[in-house]
């Protein structure tokens, strides 16, 4: 049995996210991915008993700052993922714990995109959480084929957690 240590912090004042609910959603999504695509993930072949990662909920002003400072991209993003374990050459595991990294989500962008798509802000947030977790697991979407794979997997995960 793998322990999951997921943490979140909301510094966006425009939406009081039910952090416990979305931690639970993230855990279910992660468990789904670990059964569906574990062998293709950055975790395959490693021994650990705990997986941890963080969520930061903020606004697009903050993601713009982070994008500029760390990614040299001058625009706000709806989501930024720092995949510490997947992107590291060392694959550091401390006391049996894998720290996958951090997912940063701009909640104002979530609300804006939910309106465009005609879905609830909670559905859009779950969609981005599922996307961020895939990045933490080492999946990317540089090609159309990879993008389609990720979107299909996200839709399956959201169906699995009934969102």
Q: Which CATH code, of 3.40.109.10, 3.40.30.10, 3.30.450.40, 3.40.390.30, is assigned to 3-160?
A: 3.40.390.30
Give the side-chain half-sphere CA count within 13 A for 19. 14
Write down the domain spans for the chain: 3-160
pLDDT, residue 30, reads 97
Asked whether 158 and 22 are in contact (CB, 8 A), the reply is no
3-state secondary structure of 83: strand
Question: pLDDT tens digit string along 36-46?
Answer: 999 999 999 99
Asked whether 139 and 122 are in contact (CB, 8 A), the reply is no
Question: pLDDT tens digit string along 137-163?
Answer: 999 998 999 999 999 999 999 999 988
Give the side-chain half-sphere CA count within 13 A for 106. 19
Instruction: Give the global pTM.
Output: 0.95
Asked whether 83 and 139 are in contact (CB, 8 A), the reply is no
- State the pLDDT confidence band at 35, using cuts at 50, 70 and 90: very high
pLDDT, residue 163, reads 83
């Amino acid at each position: 049995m793998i322990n999951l240590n997921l943490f979140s912090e909301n510094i966006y004042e425009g939406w009081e996210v039910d952090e416990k609910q979305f931690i639970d959603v993230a855990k279910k999504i992660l468990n789904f991915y670990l059964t569906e695509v574990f062998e293709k993930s950055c975790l395959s072949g490693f021994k650990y008993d705990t997986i941890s990662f963080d969520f930061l909920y903020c606004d697009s002003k903050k993601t713009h700052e982070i994008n500029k400072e760390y990614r040299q991209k001058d625009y706000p993003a709806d989501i930024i993922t720092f995949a510490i374990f997947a992107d590291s050459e060392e694959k550091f595991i401390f006391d049996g714990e894998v720290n996958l990294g951090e997912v940063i989500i701009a909640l104002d962008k979530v609300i804006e995109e939910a309106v465009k798509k005609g879905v609830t802000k909670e559905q859009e947030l779950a969609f981005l959480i599922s996307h961020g977790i895939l990045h933490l697991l080492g999946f990317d979407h540089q090609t159309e084929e990879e993008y389609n794979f990720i979107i299909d997997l996200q839709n399956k995960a959201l169906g699995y957690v009934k969102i």
